[in-house]
Amino acid sequence: MKITFGGNPLTVLGTQVKVGDSAKAFSLLKNDLSVSTLADYDGKIKVLNIVPSLDTGVCDSQTRKFNAELNDREDVVVITISNDLPFAQARWCGNAGLENAITLSAHRDDVFGTDYGVLIKELRLLSRTVIVLDQSNKVTYVEYVNEGTNHPNYEAALSHLKK
């Protein structure tokens, strides 16, 4: 798949997930370097908030928006995933005042990026994507943003979660 980043074409590796797919298991790093898996969030609706880097304006806004909008939902967990190092993610959470936000790092290997069709080959970053999984890890909503500097369609994702 091709996307653009600042108008420049880039290649995204892996296979995009589709509504109705079963989510692939993942093993990513928490801010304290311990491992977190998809199974850790069983029984919850999961918003996979996938971003290139929390240290950019759009990624920062996107992560703040989903956490603010869904903070009061006991049945929903927002999981922000990037290739940022866990230490950088922890620093961002502290600076953003979102100490309870869940940020997971996929920097160790390319498995998550290729399994979810979000690994930008040229940059080894993850492409901006929003994936919603139900309690049984079925994909119920997906948006792959074609221009990396654009915001996702927040209204569409949040409206989907209200159904």
Query: β-pairing, 125-126 with 129-133?
Result: unpaired
161: helix, coil or strand?
Answer: helix
Query: Which one is catalytic: 3, 59, 93, 101?
Result: 59
Write the CA distances from 113 to 16, 70, 162, integer angstroms: 10, 25, 28
Q: Directed axis angle between helix 57-70 and helix 86-96, to 10°? A: 60
Number of residues assigned to the chain: 163
Cα gap 13→126, rounded to integer Å? 10
What would the two tokens of residue 127 be?
């492409």
Residues 6+ apart with CB under 8 A from 139: 17, 18, 19, 20, 21, 22, 23, 131, 132, 133
Is 93 in the active site?
no
Residues that are catalytic? 59
